Amino acid sequence: MRLLWEELRAAVPLIFHGNPYLLSIIWFTIQVAVIATVCAAVIGLPIGLAIGLGRFRGRRVLQLLANASLGLPPVIVGLFLFELFVPHSLLASLRLQETRKAVFVAQTILALPYIVALTAAAIQGLPPGLLDQARALGAGRRQLCTLALREARIGVLAAVIAALGSALSEIGAIVIVGGNVYGLDQTLASAALYDANAAHYAQAVAVGIVLIGLILILMGGVGALQQSGGGIRLRFRS
Amino acid sequence: MTGVVLRCEQVSVRRGDREVVRDVSVELRVGELVALLGPNGAGKSTLLDALGGVIAPAQGRIERHGRVAIALQAPDLARRSVLVNVTLALAWWGVPRPERADRAREALRTMGAEHLADRPAGTLSGGERRRVHIARALAVRPDILMLDEPFAGLDPEARANLLEDAASVLRSATRATLVVVHDRAEAWALADRLLIMIGGELVAVGPPRDLLEHPPSMVVARFLGFDGSLEDAGETLLTRPAHVTLDPAGPLRARVKRAVPLEDGVRLELELDRGRLYTVAPLPAPRPGDTIRVRVHGGARFPLGADGAAASPSGDGRSGAPAGAQPVARRE
């Protein structure tokens, strides 16, 4: 306990000294979290909508896969991506190994199941009569999707929060595909691991405190949007 | 036939492996209000879905002349204002944006719900939700309007109020309306014509009064509340409580087996030598065990042992069923 207290005392000045290294990691972490979440949402929302609204064969299998992917071990994802990115492999031509882009890809893949599974669940939890009635009155696919997203917005925002949390905190994949290179492709979480491994405990604690602060700010923002209920105003067009 | 907006011929509908609707033929004409009546599980909603195009029939042919709007049984509304819910329905239907607000308000006014326009849907009572639900189906002005149990789940007062308003609102000279109900009182209050469905089959079609006075089969009679049964002159006489009156000079002797108090009297179960009758007696009423005399006016007669659709009905005056009320098996 005493050791922790001392590390905390040593960490606080590091946070407030305007350390350019720390600032660059914060900025990169925000970039990774936001871009990975947005990419996961762009890819995952249509899939979640299709699973939630669709009546096609294989929908249940997709749902099962999405749910199972929630337990996807980040290290395994990282290993697979690493194998795909190394020279002479399938995606070697993309030259992503140990790059920032690889970090974005890895975090997007890890955030995707949250968006897909939780969006599908939120839509399936809507009163069935509402969507069936819209269909019965001639609603088109786009109108149905807009209606479903708007009505399930609290659940959909919960999916975004979960995806954002994953993108901010997961390190298993990015340390493998990005290499956790000092000053290049470190996020706050992977930098904390780096510092801890290097026995720079005060630095690791400082990074950890900043990460928790960032999580509180970002998640708090999306959470406030969720709680406001009407935070998202989607316009309905015929 | 002129004015026919929907015609279905020998339609069967399956749900999974089960044939839920069998060999149904029916027509809807512009200007008429038809009630589809039947017990739970009779296949009414499935037939409605098939007629409305929500599900495809396994067999048979359905012709529609015009657009069909269905108000499903669950009055689930979006978590927005009442007005927005109705304008949304108009958007789904393809009504141009500038027309939507006025048409939505007009439909709400028609259903006596204009004062709810700005209320969030989540704050409505069950009766109010039903009104808005019906209003959005009316707002789209379909050629064929179908409503699936629009009065389900309401308390008696809300149901009576809504039924009173809906009876005139649902009638339109420019469209055909089909309403699924499972309460006979709703059917009497609404319909020009009644379709009775039992066990997936359409067992009777006709004006409500004709069907009630001359049920075409014992199955239909039982469903329409002919709960009393008496062997008389080599026939089975089925009666409703209104057909049986207590009369000290009546020709039939009966023993009161059971007495169930009602709001305005007592429902009596009467045991006779050749059957059992039910009636509602005013207070003070006889008590269980009493022997009384009763008289039967009306009822429906069937050959002894008749078991439903095959039975040849005759009214109490033995004049036979009128053309309007007939077992569907004998149609055309």
Do the Cβ atoms of B94 and A238 come within 8 Å? yes
Asked if residue B187 and residue B44 are part of one domain, the reply reads yes
Asked if residue B258 and residue B130 are part of one domain, the reply reads no
Interatomic CA distance for residues B283 and B265, integer angstroms? 5
Q: What's the pLDDT at B135?
A: 92
Q: What's the pLDDT at B159?
A: 83
Q: What's the pLDDT at A1?
A: 62
Interatomic CA distance for residues B114 and B76, integer angstroms? 19
Residue scoring higher pLDDT (B295 or B189):
B295
Residue of A nearest to B73 (CA): A129
Give the model's confidence band at B322: pLDDT under 50 very low, under 70 low, under 90 confident, else very high: very low
Q: What's the pLDDT at A130?
A: 92
Asked if residue B217 belongs to a domain, the reply is: no
Gap from A231 CA to chain B (nearest CA, Å): 13
Asked if residue B266 and residue B163 are part of one domain, the reply reads no
Asked if residue B220 belongs to a domain, the reply is: no
Gap from A155 CA to chain B (nearest CA, Å): 14
Q: What's the pLDDT at B263?
A: 85
- Mean of all residue pLDDT scores within chain B: 87
Assess whether pLDDT exceeds 70 at residue B54: yes
Burial of B183 (0-12, 13-18, 19+ CB in 10 A): middle
Least confidently predicted of A9-18, B113-122, B246-255? A9-18
Q: What's the pLDDT at B308?
A: 45
Domain range for B84 is 4-212
Residue scoring higher pLDDT (B136 or A210):
B136
* A6-53 pLDDT, tens digit each: 766 666 666 667 677 778 888 888 999 999 999 999 999 999 999 999
Do the Cβ atoms of A138 and B94 come within 8 Å? yes
The domain ranges of chain A are 32-186+221-227
Assess whether pLDDT exceeds 90 at residue B5: yes
Mean pLDDT over B162-174 rounds to 84
Give the model's confidence band at A99: pLDDT under 50 very low, under 70 low, under 90 confident, else very high: confident
Query: Which pTM does this prediction carry?
Result: 0.79
Asked if residue B44 and residue B132 are part of one domain, the reply reads yes
Least confidently predicted of A202-206, B113-117, B229-233, B295-299? A202-206
Q: What's the pLDDT at A226?
A: 75
Asked if residue B222 belongs to a domain, the reply is: no
Cβ-Cβ contacts under 8 Å for A134 (sequence gap 6 or more)? A143, A144, A147, B88, B92
Q: Which of A144, A120, A158, A164 is nearest to A234 (CA)?
A: A144
Give the model's confidence band at A194: pLDDT under 50 very low, under 70 low, under 90 confident, else very high: confident
Q: Is B91 on the interface with A (CB under 8 A)?
A: yes
Asked if residue B52 and residue B16 are part of one domain, the reply reads yes
Do the Cβ atoms of A138 and B92 come within 8 Å? yes
Q: Which of A130, A134, A238 sits opposite B97 (nearest CB)?
A: A238
Query: And the tokens for B198?
Result: 């039992």
Asked if residue B131 and residue B19 are part of one domain, the reply reads yes
Asked if residue B305 and residue B250 are part of one domain, the reply reads yes
Instruction: Give the C-alpha distances (Å, rounded to integers) separating B233 from A84, A133, B99, B242, B249.
Output: 92, 54, 66, 21, 20
Asked if residue B234 and residue B157 are part of one domain, the reply reads no
Q: Is B52 on the interface with A (CB under 8 A)?
A: yes
Mean pLDDT over B207-231 rounds to 91
Asked if residue B243 belongs to a domain, the reply is: yes
Q: What's the pLDDT at A229?
A: 59
Residue scoring higher pLDDT (A59 or B271):
B271
Assess whether pLDDT exceeds 80 at residue B132: yes
Interatomic CA distance for residues B219 and B198, integer angstroms? 8
Q: Is B73 on the interface with A (CB under 8 A)?
A: yes
* A48-78 pLDDT, tens digit each: 999 999 888 888 898 899 899 888 888 888 8
The CATH number of residue B238's host domain is 2.40.50.140
Asked if residue B101 and residue B64 are part of one domain, the reply reads yes
List chain A residues with CB under 8 Å of B140. 137
H or E element that contains A90: none
Do the Cβ atoms of A137 and B89 come within 8 Å? yes
Q: Compute the half-sphere exposure of residue A28: CA atoms within 13 Å on the CB side of its CA.
A: 26
H helices present in chain A, as ranges: 2-16, 20-53, 59-69, 74-85, 100-124, 128-136, 141-151, 153-169, 174-177, 188-197, 201-227
Hey, how many other C-beta atoms are within 10 angstroms of the C-beta on B110?
Answer: 18
Asked if residue B72 and residue B164 are part of one domain, the reply reads yes
**Interface A:B, Cβ pairs < 8 A:** 63
Mean pLDDT over B26-40 rounds to 92
Asked if residue B329 belongs to a domain, the reply is: no
DSSP, collapsed to helix, strand or coil, labels residue B235 as strand
Do the Cβ atoms of A137 and B93 come within 8 Å? yes
Split into its structural domains, chain B has a count of 2
Q: Is B51 on the interface with A (CB under 8 A)?
A: no
Beta bridge partners, B231, equal: B236
Cβ-Cβ contacts under 8 Å for B224 (sequence gap 6 or more)? B184, B196, B211, B212, B215, B240
Asked if residue B171 belongs to a domain, the reply is: yes
Do the Cβ atoms of B95 and A238 come within 8 Å? yes
- Mean of all residue pLDDT scores within chain A: 84
Beta bridge partners, B27, equal: B7
Domain A32-186+221-227, CATH number (from 3.40.50.300, 1.10.3720.10, 3.30.70.1230, 1.10.10.10): 1.10.3720.10
Q: What's the pLDDT at A214?
A: 86
The CATH number of residue B175's host domain is 3.40.50.300
Asked if residue B58 belongs to a domain, the reply is: yes
Asked if residue B188 and residue B158 are part of one domain, the reply reads yes
Q: Which of A132, A237, A238 sits opposite B72 (nearest CB)?
A: A132
Assess whether pLDDT exceeds 50 at residue B90: yes
Q: What's the pLDDT at B321?
A: 40
B86, B132 contact by CB (below 8 A): yes
List chain A residues with CB under 8 Å of B67. 138
Asked if residue B219 belongs to a domain, the reply is: no
Do the Cβ atoms of B89 and A143 come within 8 Å? no
List chain B residues with CB under 8 Å of A138. 67, 92-94
Q: Is B69 on the interface with A (CB under 8 A)?
A: yes
ipTM of the complex model:
0.78
Q: What's the pLDDT at A103?
A: 87
Beta bridge partners, B281, equal: B266
